[in-house]
């Protein structure tokens, strides 16, 4: 080992990979995809800080429009002679496959870094397994697997040197989330070590092979059958010698660091009779399990696969103990239709070849069982692996189940193995802590800082992993922290914590927060209760646990303190300080200094005020911590089942709701057996109403005396938790003081029989406060005020139950002409998982109120597909007739084509239905009542965008369903009955974000718009890739700081609307509900009625903008007033009337762009860090917005008198 100064740091897997990749490459082409995006973000930041690579240059980091584009750029940069890399996963890796074949086929050295993630099949999943990596086996890339953060760093470095010499590209992969996002303390590689791992002669060889007109060559030829086969075989020697070259660099690395890797590393008993073969993070779980089992008298071992491709048989058998008689091969992927999964087949083939070569006797052939584990980051624990070892050891070979599964209950094909959950392989020296937080309350961020403090300040080995649900800000988070003086493996969730923190009191009784807690453990609760009442929320079983296990319980009202200080709902620092105080990891003065340092590092970009507020929170938090007295008995406590009352319209889904939704809501979805899950991934809608998350800290309280019945609050509510309703007075059963109403202002309600009310759904509201901010009120007094939840929760629950009895306003009062009348319609999008204050959902909600009962929605992957389509609770719902949006998601890049395909299919089925209608209308045998109903069916072109015609046709179709029943299938009546639904017009809406519309899906979107087909496109423009964490898109405005734009976006925003208008026959609108809700309604109504392609580009506030989401509409208004966003509508139909089709709906900018910039952290950050650059961008952007408005205004003023229709 060379003499080096050893530096240790707490980092995650993505950081480990990015640090090496940036240091050892010259060009980095990137595109965001979860969970690999941070590698690109880190590289971009390093280059923006002028961090040089080991060759003394600053690498060029360049964002492309898609993963396919990134791999194309990599291919081009490599071909031109630069060391180049990229980062990706899942569908992104699949888009790179064509280029990977080319790169490998041209014997081009490179290393791709992949945080392995599930490939979307029956559903999208952002979590980790090896299904994406396994798709690359034929590309010619070598495949190198890393188990943890240290190995990612080390093997990335080894792979770089190996690939350069071998002339074979490498794919270095690790488990998405489990390893990419887990934080551990590791020994960092120095630049000297990395420099020593590459040989300049091989870099020079690569340069000389580069495409260059000074010594011209041609590559990428077309070859015919006469030579192609020979060309492929000519590459065999390169792959044959690759394992030896890999060994060479592993040996060199050992000399430099003292750490040795092999193609296959064995850990366990020298005389093991049972061995597991595995790769990725499961290798560490296996090592920990093997050590524990061997201490108990087992003879087991694990082969950790490092070099998976090329798979070297000789090296595999060198690692395998000769005593092994039973082999378990575990794959983290499912390959349907194959006789086994990839790693299993490789091991079986290796054993058979060993026998054929005479290197193993048939009598010595071990029994080999294949197993599948950990799909989509499903837990893989020592208990599960012990179950597999016990099974293969104790079960006769002829009775064993091959291709078994671990960690699930397979009650369909019965391939799952049982295991004892109580088995624990963790050393007793490891301290384990769990934190139950709420997305955006800062819990995860604080715990990431805690890991670094424990590792870097306390000098302990530390590990942190963070579990999220899909609810964005406002979802459940569970942080798992371990620390010890000894090394930590354990890449799985904590099941036996020493410490449990409950940051949201509503989790008590709904989540099993005390499951597995150790005797003498500590519990910290954030709650408004006094210490003597703190346990009142706990069910009886939890109080029994507290008493029996002698737990210490502490309480703090962190939300009260945070609001008093001015931090809103950010309770992270308060709870973090309490954690350090209660665990005693560091003396108080040391942990306070460390927390203050982390506050400054974390919040410096948000300004000195935010830093000081958090320091104040740290100091005041310690003083508010109180110990809770523990009762002697549980006699005053009860256990109550969390019962779900299934609505009458959902009775057909009652078993699904109780068997699937209920355990998922309890954060207990891992226990659901296979038979309960829809095999095709198709789920019922309208099920978020059963969640009742009750996450709000404050709720809106309606004061009817100040209400003008404008329903603006209902319009802007992101979660449809505020509803405008009109009830007949006779239908209301609660007294006025419990269900306050107003006389509904309408010309047909002079007698006042109909009553108006604003109803809050208290357990579905997120407490964002947007409704409060838009409420105009009367005489300077608002009709809505935000109050502490507990003060109105029970009365609101009672009034909401009353509202649900007669929730549908009379049809005669509902109209799409005004906001107040369309808001009386039932929203068919409710209680989604979007962030509090989300700027996307109001647009989609409005669309469902206009057309939701006959909408087919194609949704691009992105924020809207996550808050709108995360199983099993679905926010798109049905009306009283059972109708509602039919929603589908294909991929990120193909949404426009997906939606266009839907339109083509619906048009075809419409054609069949109307052809049958025409035949029946002219057939002499058609009965009069059928004829009457058929004549009530309006033509499709009349139904489009016409509420009355849609309702008329719907009623006729309902009659036909009854009248056509009983006819033979072959008759015209029987055939029409099969297609009768398609007599009704179906609107196709294609919905997605700017990452899809401006970047990866733009080609398809352009084609779909150009098709002139009857499609409606809704672009939810947040101006960043919101779903993957805020990376820049072509929609990002100049000067905005985003991930992949650490020094601000350097070019202007793409004008998608202008590009769409260039076709001349596409309806185009630019809207912002925060600035002009009437214009938004008008545009959406016009787009729905337009007989062709339409696109609405909708300004959408986002938490990534760095704003107070409560005031999102104010920011939207300022965007319009400053010219940052223009409101307009372009209706090609007007041109035929000699009218200009373009109408500008916003005024010329009246406020400076600086006013808008100063309200958003995405612009402020650059002003603070690089004021000169920021000023240059601001000046350029200010000219741009003024010129853009003038240009649009000029187009809108053009005469169309001579237009030829």
- Phi/psi at 419 (nearest 5 deg)? -155, 160
> Which tokens belong to 813?
């009062």
312 Cβ contact list (under 8 Å, min separation 6): 243, 263
Task: Say whether the peptide bond before residue 310 is cis (omega within 30 degrees of 0).
Answer: yes
Spell 135-165 as b/e; 16+ CB within 10 A means b: bbeebbbbbbbbbbbbbbbbbbbbbbbbbbb
Instruction: Specify whether the CB–CB gap between 277 and 329 falls below 8 A.
Output: yes
Query: How many angstroms separate the CA atoms of 946 and 927, rounded?
Result: 29
For 439-540, strand residue ranges (E) read: 461-468, 476-484, 499-502, 522-526
End-to-end CA distance of the chain: 81
- CA separation (Å) from 603 to 598, 608, 609? 8, 8, 9
Residue 1000 is given by DSSP the state I
- If one counts every other C-beta atom within 10 angstroms of the C-beta of residue 1199, the result is 9
DSSP label at residue 781? B
What is the distance between the alpha carbons of residues 71 and 85, in angstroms, rounded to a whole number?
9
Residue 499's nearest CA partner among 457, 566, 543, 436 is 436
What CA–CA distance (Å, rounded) separates 577 from 618?
6
- Burial (Cβ within 10 Å: 0-12, 13-18, ≥19) of residue 255: exposed
Helical residues (DSSP H) of 653-788, grouped into ranges = 654-656, 662-665, 712-716, 770-774
Q: Residue 1097 forms beta bridges with which residues?
A: 1019, 1070
CA gap 494, 278 in Å, rounded: 22
To the nearest 10°, report the CA torsion of 651, 654, 655, 656: 120
User: What tokens were used for 1019?
Assistant: 């672009």
The encoded tokens of residue 31 equal 């595109």
Q: Decide the pairing of beta strands 754-760 and 722-728.
A: antiparallel
Identify any residues that bridge with 1069 across adjacent strands, giving them in sequence order. Answer: 1096, 1129
List C-alpha distances in Å: 810 to 712, 726, 806, 815, 831.
20, 7, 10, 11, 23
Q: Give the residue numbers annotated as catalytic, written as ranges.
A: 34, 67, 117, 1027
At 1183, list the tokens: 């000219």
H/E element holding 1166?
A: helix 1161-1169
Provide the 3-class DSSP secondary structure of residue 715: helix
C-alpha torsion 40→46→52→53, nearest 10: -30
Inter-residue contact 372 to 406 (CB < 8 Å): yes
Ramachandran area for residue 1023 (φ above 0: left; ψ -120 to 50: alpha; else beta): left
What is the distance between the alpha carbons of residues 277 and 968, in angstroms, rounded to a whole number?
A: 60
């Amino acid at each position: 080992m060379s003499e080096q100064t050893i530096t240790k740091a707490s980092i995650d897997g993505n950081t480990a990979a990015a640090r090496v990749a940036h240091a050892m490459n010259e060009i980095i082409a990137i595109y965001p995809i979860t969970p690999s995006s941070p590698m690109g973000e880190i590289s971009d930041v390093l280059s923006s800080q002028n961090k040089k690579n080991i060759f003394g240059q600053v690498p060029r980091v360049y964002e492309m429009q898609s993963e396919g584009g990134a791999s194309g750029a990599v291919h081009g940069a490599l071909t031109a002679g630069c060391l180049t890399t990229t980062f990706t996963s899942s569908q992104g890796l699949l888009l790179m496959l064509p280029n990977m074949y080319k790169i490998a086929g041209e014997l081009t050295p490179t290393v791709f870094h992949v945080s392995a993630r599930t490939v979307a099949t029956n559903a999208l999943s952002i979590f980790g397994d090896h299904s994406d990596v396994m798709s690359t086996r034929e590309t010619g890339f070598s495949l190198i697997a890393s188990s943890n953060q240290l190995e990612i760093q080390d093997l990335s470095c080894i792979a770089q040197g190996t690939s350069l010499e071998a002339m074979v590209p490498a794919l270095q992969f690790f488990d998405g989330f489990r390893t990419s996002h887990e934080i551990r303390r590791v020994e960092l590689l120095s630049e000297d070590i990395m420099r020593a791992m590459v040989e300049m002669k091989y870099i020079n060889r690569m340069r000389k092979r580069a495409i260059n007109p000074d010594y011209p060559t041609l590559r990428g030829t077309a070859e015919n059958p006469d030579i192609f086969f020979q060309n492929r075989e000519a590459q065999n020697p390169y792959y044959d010698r690759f394992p030896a070259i890999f060994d060479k660099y592993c040996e060199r690395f050992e000399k430099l660091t003292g750490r040795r890797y092999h193609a296959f590393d064995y850990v366990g008993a020298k005389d093991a009779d049972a061995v597991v073969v595995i790769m990725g993070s499961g290798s560490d779980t296996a090592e920990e399990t093997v050590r524990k089992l061997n201490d108990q008298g087992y003879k087991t071992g694990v082969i950790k696969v490092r070099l998976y491709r090329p798979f070297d048989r000789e090296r595999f058998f060198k690692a395998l103990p000769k005593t092994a008689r039973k082999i378990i091969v575990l794959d983290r992927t499912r390959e349907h239709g194959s006789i086994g999964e990839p790693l299993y087949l490789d091991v079986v083939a290796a054993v058979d070849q060993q026998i054929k070569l005479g290197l193993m006797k048939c009598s010595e052939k071990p029994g080999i069982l294949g197993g599948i584990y950990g799909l989509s980051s499903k837990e893989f624990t020592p208990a599960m692996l012990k179950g597999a070892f016990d099974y293969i050891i104790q079960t006769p070979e002829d009775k064993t189940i091959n291709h078994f599964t671990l960690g699930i209950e397979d009650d369909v094909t019965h391939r799952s193995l049982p295991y004892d959950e109580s088995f624990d392989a963790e050393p007793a020296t490891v301290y384990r802590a769990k934190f139950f937080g709420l997305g955006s309350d800062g819990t995860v961020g604080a715990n990431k800082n805690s890991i670094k403090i424990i590792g870097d300040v306390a000098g302990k080995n530390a590990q942190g992993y963070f579990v999220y649900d899909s609810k964005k800000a406002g979802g459940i988070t569970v942080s798992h922290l371990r620390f010890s003086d000894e090394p930590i493996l354990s890449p799985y969730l904590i099941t036996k914590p020493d410490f449990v923190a409950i940051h949201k009191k509503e989790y008590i009784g709904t989540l099993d927060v005390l499951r597995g807690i150790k005797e003498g453990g500590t519990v910290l609760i954030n709650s408004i209760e006094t210490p003597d009442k703190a346990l009142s929320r706990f069910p009886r079983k939890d109080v029994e646990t507290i008493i029996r296990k002698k737990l210490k319980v502490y309480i703090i009202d962190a939300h009260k303190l945070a609001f008093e200080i001015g931090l809103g709902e950010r309770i992270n620092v308060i709870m973090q300080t309490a954690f350090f105080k209660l665990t005693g990891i560091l003396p108080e003065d040391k942990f306070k200094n460390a927390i203050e340092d982390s506050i400054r590092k974390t919040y410096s970009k948000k300004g000195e005020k935010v830093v000081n507020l958090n320091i104040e929170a740290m100091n005041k938090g310690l003083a508010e911590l109180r110990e809770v007295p523990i009762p002697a008995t549980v006699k005053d406590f009860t256990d109550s089942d969390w019962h779900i009352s299934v609505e009458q319209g959902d009775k057909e889904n009652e078993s699904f709701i109780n068997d699937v939704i209920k355990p998922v809501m309890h954060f207990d979805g891992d226990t659901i057996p296979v038979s309960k899950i829809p095999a095709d991934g198709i789920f019922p809608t309208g099920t978020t109403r059963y969640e009742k998350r009750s996450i709000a800290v404050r709720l809106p309280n309606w004061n009817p005396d100040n209400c003008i019945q404008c329903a603006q609050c209902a319009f802007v509510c992101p979660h449809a938790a505020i509803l405008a309703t009109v009830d007949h007075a006779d239908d209301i059963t609660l007294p006025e003081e419990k269900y306050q109403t107003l006389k509904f202002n309408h010309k047909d309600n002079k007698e006042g029989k109909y009553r108006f009310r604003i109803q809050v759904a208290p357990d579905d509201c997120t407490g964002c406060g947007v409704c409060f901010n838009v409420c105009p009120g009367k005489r300077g007094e608002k009709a809505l005020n935000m109050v502490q939840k507990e003060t109105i929760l029970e009365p609101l629950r009672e009034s909401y139950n009353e509202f649900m009895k007669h929730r549908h306003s009379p049809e005669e009062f509902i109209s799409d002409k005004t906001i107040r009348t369309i808001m009386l319609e039932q929203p068919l999008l409710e209680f989604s998982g979007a962030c509090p204050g989300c700027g996307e959902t109001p647009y989609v909600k409005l669309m469902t109120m206009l057309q939701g009962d006959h909408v087919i929605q194609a949704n691009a992957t992105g924020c809207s597909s996550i808050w709108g389509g995360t199983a099993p609770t679905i926010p798109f719902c049905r009306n009283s007739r059972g109708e509602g949006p039919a929603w589908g998601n294909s991929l990120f890049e193909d949404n426009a084509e997906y939606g266009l395909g839907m339109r083509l299919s619906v048009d075809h089925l419409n054609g069949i239905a109307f052809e049958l209608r025409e035949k029946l209308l002219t057939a002499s045998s058609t009965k009069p009542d059928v004829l009457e109903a058929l004549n009530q069916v309006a033509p499709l072109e009349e139904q489009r965008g016409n509420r009355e015609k849609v309702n008329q046709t719907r009623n006729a179709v309902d009659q036909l369903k009854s009248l056509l029943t009983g006819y033979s299938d072959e008759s015209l009546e029987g055939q029409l009955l099969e297609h009768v639904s398609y007599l009704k017009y179906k609107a196709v809406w294609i919905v997605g974000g700017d990452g899809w519309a401006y970047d990866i899906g733009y080609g398809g979107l352009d084609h779909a718009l150009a098709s002139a087909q009857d499609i409606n496109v809704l672009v939810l423009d947040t101006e960043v890739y919101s779903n993957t964490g805020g990376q820049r898109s072509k929609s990002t405005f100049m000067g905005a700081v985003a991930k992949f734009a650490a020094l601000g976006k350097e070019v202007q925003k793409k004008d998608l609307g202008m590009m769409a208008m260039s076709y001349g026959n596409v309806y185009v609108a630019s809207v912002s509900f925060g600035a002009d809700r009437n214009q938004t309604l008008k545009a959406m109504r016009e787009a729905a009625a337009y007989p062709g392609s339409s696109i609405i580009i909708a300004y959408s506030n986002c938490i990534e903008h760095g704003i107070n989401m409560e005031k999102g509409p104010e920011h939207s208004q300022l965007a319009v007033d400053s010219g940052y966003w223009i409101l307009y509508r372009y209706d090609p139909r007007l041109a035929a009337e000699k009218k200009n089709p373009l109408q500008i709906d916003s005024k010329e900018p009246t406020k400076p762009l600086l006013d808008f910039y100063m309200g958003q952290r995405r612009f402020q950050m650059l002003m603070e860090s690089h004021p000169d650059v920021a000023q240059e961008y601001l000046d350029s952007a200010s000219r741009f917005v003024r010129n853009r408005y003038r240009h649009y205004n000029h187009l809108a003023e053009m005469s169309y008198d001579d237009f030829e229709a």
